[in-house]
Amino acid sequence: MHPFEPEQQPFEAEQHPFEPFLPEGARILFLGSFPPQPHRWSIPFYYPNWINDFWRILGLIHFGDKDHFCLPTQKRFDEAAIRTFCTAHGLAFYDTATAVRRLKDNASDAFLEVVSPTDIRALLARIPRCGTLVTTGEKASSIVAQTFGCAVPPVGGNIDLNLPDRPLQFWRMPSTSRAYPLPLEKKAQAYRQLFPPTDLL
Domains of the chain plus CATH, in order, are 22-96+120-193 (3.40.470.10)
The reported pLDDT for the residue numbered 101 is 87
Phi, psi of 177 (to 5 degrees): -65, 145
SS3 97: strand
Q: What is the rounded distance in angstroms from the CA atom of residue 9 to the CA atom of residue 66?
A: 43
The reported pLDDT for the residue numbered 108 is 60
The reported pLDDT for the residue numbered 6 is 43
The reported pLDDT for the residue numbered 109 is 62
The reported pLDDT for the residue numbered 184 is 97
Q: What is the rounded distance in angstroms from the CA atom of residue 52 to the CA atom of residue 159?
A: 26
pTM of the predicted structure, to 2 decimals? 0.90
Block means of pLDDT (10 residues each) for the chain, 201 residues, are: 46 91 97 92 97 97 97 95 97 96 69 89 97 95 96 97 96 94 96 84 55
